[in-house]
Copies of this chain bind each other. A is one copy, B any other.
Amino acid sequence: MVTIKDIADKLGIAPSTVSKGLNDASDISPDLKQLVIDTSIEMGYVSKKMKRESKKRLCLFIENMLYKEEKDFGFDLVLGFKQAAYRNNWHVDIVELTPELQKLEPYDRYMTKHNYHGGFHLGLALKDPWMKQFETTTIPTVLLDNYIRKNPNVCYIGTDSYEGIDVAIEHLEELGHTRIALLNGSKDSMITTNRYEAYYMSMQNHELPLQENLIAHGHYVEESAKYHCSTLIENGATAIICGNDLLAVGVIKECKRLHIRVPEDISVIGFDNLPIAEQITPGLTTINQDRIDLGKNAYAALFWLIAKVPISRSLLRPSLIVRGSTGKCIYRANTGLS
């Protein structure tokens, strides 16, 4: 159980100052007050005042995504969303979604019954029962990485895959790479399609050769890499862009097993910038999705949908984090594979 003293210790301030921040006292600066509130949410502390005031309720649904530990993709997303929502006096519930729950109750009824003003959905697959219902829902609804046509109550938020992949290809081209492979994730997701299109368009724009046998589809997990990695290298790839960091980590591990050097023999780029990206050796060059900001962006979109401003997509700008897994393209005379 987190106490006011824990928050004070973490921030290096007096417990009385934490109390002031949580109770909206006038003799504490707005910035410090905000920091106190953000930190208390981060540490899982909810003050009596917060409980009392939060009559406005939002629900964050999460499925097919880990979020409980700091290393998980969903962790910062949930945190950023909660921070932005609490600042504006919204209460947030977290619901782990299952197909069963979706079959049990229609989305709109579920939301109305629980008195939620809006929902934020993480990790839903195209085949999820509620996805169809989002086409007609009247509840303000924000989806991470899923797009629904026509319904003014639904907004898609995410990180711009097109610019992300483009910046990655630009980086590889500057390093002299031309035979750039794409190891993409699971086929039944919008984000996979976007990243494929982004790769296709960017390779064309940079006048780099498009080769069917340099494109592979796995799943967004580490283990998936080993089924594709050596084939892509045998087919001539000098660099592999992966659909997410887990796949990229899988590629680096598989290369180690095969005695292929990263980046001397092959450059590897991920997508997400998970904590693992800087823990692995070599460090993973990756396209950053700032998940705290994504969570805030989701709250912002939901806020405007509730205010009847029909934002349909709101995308975060990606940036490339360059680490050790990408290097100059050197002609590979012998990889031991061919």
Total identical chains: 2
CA distance A163 to B313 in the complex (A): 11
Determine how close the nearest CB of chain B comes to the CB of A149; give it in whole angstroms. Answer: 6
Whether A152 and B300, one on each chain, are in contact in the complex, defined by CB atoms closer than 8 angstroms, is no
Which single residue of chain B is at the shortest CB-CB distance from A166? B149
CA distance A167 to B166 in the complex (A): 29
Chain B residues with Cβ under 8 A from A290's Cβ? Answer: 310
CA distance A307 to B313 in the complex (A): 19
Among A160, A297, A300, A307, find the residue whose CB has the most chain B CB atoms closer than 10 A: A300
A315 at interface, CB cutoff 8 A: yes
A110 at interface, CB cutoff 8 A: no
Interface flags, A300-325, vs B, CB<8A=1, else 0: 10001001011111111101000000
Whether B310 and A312, one on each chain, are in contact in the complex, defined by CB atoms closer than 8 angstroms, is no
- Among candidates B167, B297, B309, B315, residue contacting A316 with C-beta atoms closer than 8 Å: B309
Chain B residues with Cβ under 8 A from A307's Cβ? Answer: 296
Known: A150-B167, A309-B316. 20 other contacts (CB 8 A): A149-B163, A150-B163, A152-B317, A152-B319, A160-B312, A163-B312, A290-B310, A293-B309, A297-B309, A297-B311, A300-B300, A300-B304, A300-B311, A310-B319, A311-B317, A312-B315, A313-B313, A313-B314, A314-B314, A314-B315
